Amino acid sequence: MNFSLLAQHNHLISIVFGVVSIAFSLSFGLGDLKAWADISWLDVVGEGGIAVLTLVWVFFLLVSRPPGRVTRLLTLGLSCYMFSALLDMFDEFVHYADASAWLSMIESIPALMGMVVMTWGLYLWHQEQLILNTQLQRREVSLREHDQVDFITKLYRADYMRGQIANLLKSPETANFSIVMLDMDDFDLFNRLYGVSEGDRLLREISELILMNLRQSDLACRYAGDRFILLLLDTDLELANEIAEQIRAAVKHLAFKTKSKGNAVYHTLTFAADIAQSGDKVDSIIGRVNRQLDLCKEG
């Protein structure tokens, strides 16, 4: 088993142990120890087993997942659940005076809250998995960061692209790349004719086509609205134009069937490309391609 991820969760591990300590301190601090003969060992085994197994779940979660929102929510949810299970088990060893009886009355509330938090975490996990499934079929430049993925197209957002370009520009050896920007033509009209949800579907299909036409080392992101940006490693301007032209041809031949009318609608793209130059910054190269694209659209 690989424990390397565990070291990245120190904060969450402290919270889990904090929860165990609080449950222990509350129960044994507020309650009075029962006589040995009064302890129901069957309940201890049943309720203790739930608490221990919850801890085992937390362990597997933390050794399997990188830090992030999903991991945080699932760990916090499980910890709340475990808190209830621990209170439930510990009260087999103590009985509470009237003033402390509230503790056993509220003991199931953290479990409920934990289930709500876990449900939210599972929903986000599901979303994340959909994104992963789509993107695993394609290759990308670098590690995945799911919170930077555009909800509609499942492509990375512009900020992710900016980060990747910034990394490449840091060293002269890697700063040999091209940037392509693609913009859908008359998308506003398409939205007005067929509706925004059909517009979203078209954006998704065009994103798929873009990905299908890229190489393993390329990265495609949604720049804004109906504009996409590509990062093509080790690619000169001629090849960048060729790849962009292939994407444009693929989109041009896409017979997009609208849901309402069922007719095939064809679509075109306009693009501009440029290569990284010495002294370039993220904004300078993106700004250059953006301006070129605006000029192409005006022309």
Q: In this complex, which beta carbon is closest to ligand GTP, that of residue 139 or of residue 297? A: 297
**Subset of 103-162 contacting ligand GTP (CB under 6 A):** 152
Phi, psi of 271 (to 5 degrees): -140, 165
Out of 225, 234, 259, 261, the residue judged to bind ligand GTP by CB under 6 A: 225
Which residues have CB under 8 Å from 249's CB, separation 6+? none
Please name the residue that has the structure tokens 């998995």: 129
Please name the residue that has the structure tokens 């510990």: 90
Q: In this complex, which beta carbon is closest to ligand GTP, that of residue 115 or of residue 193? A: 193
* Extended beta strands in 68-161, E state: 94-96, 156-157
**Subset of 177-206 contacting ligand GTP (CB under 6 A):** 183-189, 191, 196, 199-200, 203
The number of residues that bind ligand GTP (CB under 6 A) is: 16
Decide if residue 258 touches ligand GTP (CB under 6 A).
no
Min dist CB 224 to ligand GTP, Å, is: 8
Tokens of 115: 């289930």
Q: How far apart are CA 183 and CA 251, in angstroms?
A: 11
What are residue 179's DSSP bridge partners?
231, 274
C-beta atoms surrounding 123 within 10 Å? 12
Out of 92, 218, 226, 280, the residue judged to bind ligand GTP by CB under 6 A: 226
Min dist CB 158 to ligand GTP, Å, is: 13
Give the residues lining the site for ligand GTP (CB under 6 A): 152, 183-189, 191, 196, 199-200, 203, 225-226, 297
